[in-house]
Each structure stands twice: as structure tokens, then as C-alpha cells.
Chains A and B, each alone.
Chain A
Amino acid sequence: MKLRFKKILCILVSAAFCVHFYPVYAAEDMRVSQECIELIKAAEGFSRYKYWDYSQWTIGYGTGVSEDEYPDGITEAEAEQLLYNAVVRYEGYVNNFADRYDVSLKQNQFDALVSLTYNMGNIWSAYDTFDLKTYVINGSENYSFLDIAKGFGEWRVAGGSVIQGLVTRRQEETKLFLSDREDYSGEVWRVNSEDGTNLRREPDVNSERIGFMKMNTIFYVTEKKTTGDGYLWGKVSYEGEECWCVLDFSKYIVGGPIECFENGDEVSGEKWIITSEDGVRLRSGPGLNYENLAIIPKDKEIIVTSTAEADGYLWGKTKFAGSEGWCALDFAERKDNQDTELPGRTLESIYISSMPNKLTYTEGEMFDPEGICVKAVYSDGSEEVIPDFTLDGFESAPGTHTINVTYMNKTASFEVEVIQKQLTGIEIAKLPDKTVYSQGEQLDISGIKVNALFNNGTTEEIQDFSVSGYNHFIGEKKIVIEYQGFTADFNVEVIEKKLTAFEITKLPDKLEYYKGEQFSTKGMIVYAYYDNHSKNVITDYTVSGFDSQIIGDQIIRISYNGFIQTFIVSVKEHKERPLTGDIDGDGKRTIFDLILLNQYAENGHNDLEYDKFCAADINGDKIINDLDVEILTYMISQE
């Protein structure tokens, strides 16, 4: 129990010791619910370490302990368990009270009374002068919300003064005690202003003042009205006379709902409640740059008649304290189930009074609700057109789909049919990047964009089309794109490519010849270059300038389509004829010469150097074959 309650406890507990305490037994009857535990925890607050509270050491959630217990403090879990153990005693008080007076308590009532007892002791049940005891014994259902609230409210005063902590706690216990009741005929409020609140004849600050309620007075409100000055007024009964007070300075406790009117008319806007701790600024327009008119405090209910978005906020037009302006609804919360629920009637159902114009769709089409009309049916038999229902269930895929119309948790439905879309053609939306080709180039359709056209008016880019109509011949070509039987075409042009140069990028392997040898281009690579910046290897060039009988350097000319490139080779005399059979040139005939000769005879010897050829042509017939192998085999066997 918190320190601030010391005073009241001093008095009340002293009184408690003077009255008869009922025997306390282990709770055999009712036990508190978790709701009660949570209420006590919230009201008591948590203290990790024990402290001296009036007459005892206290720890956790206001639980009494001995001086030596918990020297190192307590965890929240341990504190809750301690609370569970401690609350047994108070459950016993309430159970004994119920047994004694043969009272049947509901769980919420039991919880509320245990919370009260845990906080204040069981004095409330000891004296008949306390109304709460009378109400409970006689059956709380026979008393109004206001009676019950006042009954709990008797236990908010300590030492002749009201303790705000106790006020709040009694409010919560009142709410809990009445939570199962639905027979409310108004709202119970409590004056929350230290200055109290005036009672006036009319909901107008200039109206006659006929009374006054001080802070924490609990009263009944049977009607609410928002007036032109922006205040929320509540109609109350004071000494048998109806009067009005400003509810902006009071706090709602329990009960309701009751009608709320604006300027005498039914509220046509939405009810929102300010949730920001610091309140919300009322500005002259929907935006941060508008003049600041007032600050609407937290928990103030406002009526929003229109909205606008500006500066990243949703602004609501409302009235407060006589000024009409705009406030940011991002710091407020819209009240649920308020749309058209007028007092005395409830929404029974909704139905579709007029079907949408379009009930058949093609795959891919968007849903069009045009023509639909939805009506709400209320408990009083009235019907109204609903403008802000929601629609879901549409899927733009082939099949029949049920569209659900939802409004205020009521639903109606209808069906639409979506038929498969059909291909009606294709189109070339964008030509390829390249449409002019040089002779010999491959078709390149990079950059082309081909669309499929459907009967629902949509298009879809396709990739898996086929292409035909291109060849290398010079002229204009009609390129045909084909997709699922549909075709589209475009033209490209093939122009003749022109040789601009050619180049010997690699000289022949052999650049030195012996007299009589044939020229070989083996190893030579020649590129032709064209005006379309392409190039390719050519082999159909012409070679001239070589004479194997002329000793010395010779200029070889390579000609191709009028272009000429040259390089130099040399021709020299033979030194002497090599040893027959000495193919590897090591000066003797061995089995390795035989191996070489076998390979030449089997694999060919077109490019064999002259010296080697002479050595391998054992019989001098200018041919290297098996006969040469046999002869060389014989020769080696003789050596």
C-alpha cells in the first residue's frame, strides 16, 4: 500500500480494530479472478524493496511482510505470488459476509469487493450506516449505477479529505462491480476539477447558475449536448431540478450510452477522442501554419464534421471552446460503432438494393462497382442507403466469384463472373534497335517489344514469339513475328558490305625455304575488314611472288579483292643431302628414326621439311610409305 494512504489507514484501521472481525477461513467459496489481481496491482503499484507503511513493513503490491523478510528485495513474479497468498484473507472476509447475509455475488462483484477490502479492510461490511453494505445485502441490481458509484465513493475520503488515489481506485472497482449490468439509463460522472463545476439551467455558460458541485462529486448524466461554445454539457438532476453542467471538467465513470446533440441537433459528424497526453492544438485551418486557436485536452471527445489531409496529417474539422477549427486526428481516436447508430435503434442487416451495372468481366479487368446500392435495415424498421460499405472477394481470374459487401459487421453478397481473356492479335510496340544490316550479318532483334492484344482491351508483352523472313541477300526483308497463330511484321534492309581493308594478323609458320621447296601458307591468318565494322578471316586470297629456284629474300604478295599485303621469305641452298634414314638429324639411324618414319608413313608428311623428307624417303621415290619403313628396318638390323 502506498505511502499516501497512510493517513486514511491510520484512521480506518484504527476503526477496524474496534469492530467485530468475522472469522477468516481459507477461501472455500469464491476466489478472485485475475481481473481483480490486475486491478489491485495497478492500484497498489510495485515496490521491489519493503518500506514502512503506517503500521507494518510492506513490499511488492502492497503486501505486508515482517522486518526480516526479503532483505534483497523481491521480483514482480514473487510479488504477485505474495499477493495471491495475501488476498486469500480478504476473499475470506467477503465470502463470510456473503454467507452471513445469504448474498449471492457474481464474480465481478466479488472481485470488486475483495479489492475494496484489501485496500480498506472490511469496515464497509461492519456498519449498516455504510450504503454499500446495504446495497449488497439488498441486491445491488435494485440500485442505480449512481447509487452503486456513490456507495463505493464513500470510501474515497480519508481524514476528512478526498484522496485522489482512492477516488481512482473506487472508480475502477465501481466499473468492475457494474460490468455485468446493462440496465443503465445514463452515465455516471465525477467532477474532476479542483474548482468544481457550476450547474446551470441551460447548456450555456451565460445561463442562470442554479447550483455547484465540488470536486469528486458523483452525478448522473442523462443527456449530453455540444453547444456552440464548444463545451460538452451534461444534463443532471440537482435537488429535483434538471440542470446542465460542463462535462469537460468531469470524468466519466460508468454507464451510458446516452444521446449527444450538437446545438440542439443530432450530431452529424464523427466522434473522436483526443489521445495525446499533451492534448491537440485547434487551428484555424487544416495545416500546421494555421493560427493556433486552443488546445483540446486529452480524453476530450470532439465531433469531426469533415476531414482533410495536409502537412502529413489527417485534419478534422471540429468545434471546441466556442471556436471552430481543425485539429490533427493523428493524435485522436475515432469511436467505434457510431456511424448511424442512433439511440434507440440498432443495425439489423444490410442488403443490396441495386446490383452493379457490370456483373461479367474479362480476366484482367478491374472491378467496377458502379450502379451498386446498399441499404442498411435498422431495428426500428428504417432503411438507409449506405455510402461507405466495403467490397471484397473480387479476383480477376476466370470463374465465378462471390463479392462480399460489408458494413458494420453486417454482410451481403452477390456473384460476378470472370471469363478468360482471349488473344485477339499481336502488335509490334517497338521496333528492334537495328533495322539495317550489312550482307552476312545475323538478324538482331534486340530492343523489339511485342505485345499480345486481348479482348478485354489489355496488352501484355510477350517474349516467346517466333521470327522468320530474314536472309542474307541484299534488299528489303519483311520480318514476320508469329505468336499463337497471330502475326505482325516489320521491315529490315540488307545492304552490301564493302571491303575497306585486310590485314595479315599472323605470318606463315615457315619463312625460310630451301631451294626447290614449295611455299606454304600454313599458320598465316588474314582478316578482311568491312564498312559495317565487321571483320572475318579469309582464306581465298591470292599468293604471288615466290620462286623456289631463286636464292635470297623474296617479297610475297597476298592479294584480296584489289588489296595487297606483303611480307618477306628467304630461299637458300641445301648444304648437303642428309644421311638416309636419319630423320631426327642426330647423325645416325636408330629405332627413333624408325618410329618417326612409321608415323610419317601412317599419318602423312605434307609439311615435312625438305631435309627430313629427304632422310625419310629411303628409296628416293618421293613418297614416304611402308616400303621405306621396311628398308630402314632392314638397314638398322644390319648395323
Chain B
Amino acid sequence: MKFKKLFAYAAALLVIGSTNAYAENGVNPQINVSGAYAEPWGFAEVKIDIKNNPGISAFSINLSYDEEILEFADARCGNGLTNGTFFCNGSRSGKSIKAVWSNASDMYLNDDIAVIRFKVKNAEAETSSALKIEDSEFGNSHLEPVEIETHDGEIKIAREILPGDADENGIIDINDIVTINLYLLDNHIYPLSSYTAEANCDMDGNGIVEITDSAIMINKLCGID
């Protein structure tokens, strides 16, 4: 057991010391659509967040998705919107939704502005649906347009998700730790084998396989919660 822990820590440190995949965000305002993993017939929750918020009083975001794979379930405003009126219509065309929010004064929080839930249809596993911001508009209380960069997201469909089973052998052991850390070390040389493997590695469910997932996985394997 001691050996396992040491190995796990060494592997984690190796990843921490070598990765530069997470560059610091710039100062430009950004809207990001998060990724998500889901099983067929399951639900996928994606978040739209704002960074470097210059102050906005209203927005409208038109988000498209693959209607063969996903179906809009519901939406709510994110933690970043403490006031104002939010509405999101998912039944307008069947392949895109439009989220609209407005307020009398500017909002400056850098946080989620919308949380959207999709239901996965009886789709074939190992497929994905892009979540593209087709058009968007932002304005402040002075009735001025606000330019904000937008970044799309993706929902990937896994077969059956077993959190921690990075190598998809049905067993969660030290090999899974090695697998995820090799992936984090260089995902081109050591790619994960499938969306299911990625979903198994996305321990925190934020749609991204990252160093925190490795740490969670090590803790779980070591019995540390």
C-alpha cells in the first residue's frame, strides 16, 4: 500500500512538473461553454461562464447542438447572475436554444451565467455533439455593445461510466493512475482509448480530464476522500 501511494504521488508530481497545458487566461472578456460526458439516455449538464467580465447588463446567446444526439431538457441562470430576468427557450427549433438575460444595471461577477441540461437520446456510444455559440450579443447599462470572445463546448457520449477506470478494464487500480497521468503528460503519445475512458477519468464531472481528476483518482484509490 505504501508503494502505491508513493507511486501515485510521484506520478502526480511528474504531471504537475511537466504540464503547461493550462495557460493563464488573457484579459479579454470570454464566454466559455463547458464540456460534459454522458451515457445514452442520461443527462448532460453544461455551464456557460464568463471571465474578465467588463460589466454587462444584458445578453442573448444562441447555442446550437446535434438534435440527433441531444434534446434540450431545461436551463437556469448561473451563479454569476444574482439579479435580472433570465429565460432560455429550448423548443424553438429543436437544434438550438437561445438564452436571454437582462438587468437594470451592470453585473460584474465572473462566474456561470447559464446552466443548461440536455437529455441524451438513444444514441450510439462514443459519439459527440458540439455545443456552438452561433450568435451572441452583450450590452451594458449605457446601451453600449460589449465585445466578448466565445468558446464552444462539446458533449461526449460514453458507453457506461465507471469513474476511475481509466484503462476500461473494469478494475480500478494503480494502472488507472498510470494511464491518466501518462495522458496528462502527453495526450498525443498516450491518448485515452475512448470517450468512455475519458468519462471515467473526469472524476469531478466538469467535462475536462485534468490534473485534479488525477489527484481525486489517487485519493480514491488510496482510500482518502
Question: A interface vs B, CB < 8 Å?
Answer: 584, 590-592, 594-599, 601-603, 626, 629-630, 633-634, 636-639
Contact present for A595 and B86 (CB under 8 Å): no
Contact present for B104 and A598 (CB under 8 Å): yes
Alpha-carbon gap, A599 to B99, bound state (A): 20
Contact present for B143 and A592 (CB under 8 Å): yes
Contact present for B85 and A633 (CB under 8 Å): yes
Per-residue A-contact encoding for B119-150, CB less than 8 Å = 1, 0 else: 00000000000000000011111010000000
Q: How far is the CB of A629 from chain B (nearest CB, A)?
A: 5
Contact of B86 among A597, A602, A626, A633 (CB under 8 A): A633
Contact present for B137 and A591 (CB under 8 Å): yes
- Chain A interface SS verdict (over half): helix
Alpha-carbon gap, A584 to B144, bound state (A): 12
Contact present for A599 and B100 (CB under 8 Å): no
Alpha-carbon gap, A598 to B100, bound state (A): 13
Q: Which of B66-99 contact A (CB under 8 A)?
A: 84-89, 92, 98-99
- Please give, as numbers and ranges, the residues of chain B lying within 8 Å of A603 by CB-CB distance: 104
- Please give, as numbers and ranges, the residues of chain A lying within 8 Å of B137 by CB-CB distance: 590-591
Contact present for B139 and A637 (CB under 8 Å): no
Contact present for B143 and A637 (CB under 8 Å): no
Contact present for B98 and A595 (CB under 8 Å): no
Q: How far is the CB of A585 from chain B (nearest CB, A)?
A: 12
A596-B143, A634-B87 known; A591+B92 contact, CB < 8 A: no
Contact present for A636 and B84 (CB under 8 Å): no
Residue of B at shortest CB range from A632?
B102
- Please give, as numbers and ranges, the residues of chain B lying within 8 Å of A636 by CB-CB distance: 60, 98, 100
Alpha-carbon gap, A634 to B102, bound state (A): 11
Residue of A at shortest CB range from B97?
A637
Residue of B at shortest CB range from A639?
B98
Question: Does B182 touch A at the CB level, under 8 Å?
Answer: no
Contact present for B59 and A591 (CB under 8 Å): yes
Question: Does B58 touch A at the CB level, under 8 Å?
Answer: yes
Question: B interface vs A, CB < 8 Å?
Answer: 57-60, 84-89, 92, 98-104, 137-141, 143
- Please give, as numbers and ranges, the residues of chain A lying within 8 Å of B86 by CB-CB distance: 633
Contact present for A629 and B143 (CB under 8 Å): no
Contact present for B104 and A637 (CB under 8 Å): no
- Please give, as numbers and ranges, the residues of chain A lying within 8 Å of B84 by CB-CB distance: 598
Excluding A629-B85, A637-B60, A637-B99, 16 further A-B contacts by CB distance (< 8 Å) are: A590-B60, A591-B60, A591-B100, A591-B137, A591-B139, A595-B58, A595-B141, A598-B104, A626-B85, A630-B85, A630-B87, A633-B87, A633-B102, A636-B100, A637-B87, A638-B98
Alpha-carbon gap, A590 to B141, bound state (A): 13
Alpha-carbon gap, A598 to B88, bound state (A): 18
Contact present for A638 and B92 (CB under 8 Å): yes
Contact present for B102 and A594 (CB under 8 Å): yes
- Please give, as numbers and ranges, the residues of chain A lying within 8 Å of B59 by CB-CB distance: 591
Contact present for A637 and B85 (CB under 8 Å): no
- Please give, as numbers and ranges, the residues of chain B lying within 8 Å of A638 by CB-CB distance: 89, 92, 98
Contact present for A629 and B102 (CB under 8 Å): yes
- Please give, as numbers and ranges, the residues of chain B lying within 8 Å of A599 by CB-CB distance: 104, 141
Residue of B at shortest CB range from A629?
B85
List of 9 A-B pairs having minimum Cβ-Cβ separation, nearest first: A594-B102, A591-B58, A602-B104, A598-B104, A637-B100, A637-B89, A633-B87, A595-B57, A637-B98
A–B complex contacts, Cβ < 8 Å, 20 sampled = A591-B58, A591-B59, A591-B139, A594-B58, A595-B57, A595-B139, A595-B143, A598-B84, A599-B141, A601-B104, A626-B85, A629-B102, A630-B87, A633-B86, A633-B87, A633-B102, A636-B100, A637-B88, A638-B92, A639-B98
- Please give, as numbers and ranges, the residues of chain B lying within 8 Å of A633 by CB-CB distance: 85-87, 100-102
Contact present for B139 and A592 (CB under 8 Å): yes
Alpha-carbon gap, A592 to B58, bound state (A): 7
- Please give, as numbers and ranges, the residues of chain B lying within 8 Å of A594 by CB-CB distance: 58, 85, 100, 102
